[in-house]
Amino acid sequence: MAIQEAQNDPKTIQEAKSRTDWPLWKVVMDKELAMFEKARTWDTVTHPKGKNIVGSKWVFCIKRKANRSVDKYKARLVAHGFT
């Protein structure tokens, strides 16, 4: 059952934006970015010539209670460590 529910989570930011629950995803994404700023682990810089940039992507997950009702929305910005 959990695998089936996870399949309903958006896989991309474009998919999240196309859903009716987009405002809820936007709120948790903004919270994630604010956490990075507060922890001072986030900085916007220009791309240095000749240097590779580590990519990132959003991972979305709806956490559910035991009765399968929505507990909370989670969005995490994760680095592509393989780049």
Residue 16 lies in a domain: yes
The string of DSSP letters for 63-74 reads: EE-TTS-EEEEE
Asked if the structure places residue 26 within a domain, the reply is yes
Asked if residue 67 is part of any domain, the answer here is: yes
Structure confidence at residue 5 as a pLDDT band (50, 70, 90): low
DSSP 81: T
Q: In the chain, how many H helices and how many E strands?
A: 3, 2
Residue 6 is part of which domain span?
2-41+52-79
| pLDDT of 77 strictly over 60 | yes
**Total domains, the chain:** 1
Mean predicted confidence (pLDDT) in 1-14: 74
- The answer to whether residue 47 is domain-embedded is no
Tens-digit pLDDT profile for residues 22-68 = 999 999 999 999 999 999 987 778 888 998 888 889 999 999 999 99
What value does the mean pLDDT take over residues 5-14?
A: 84
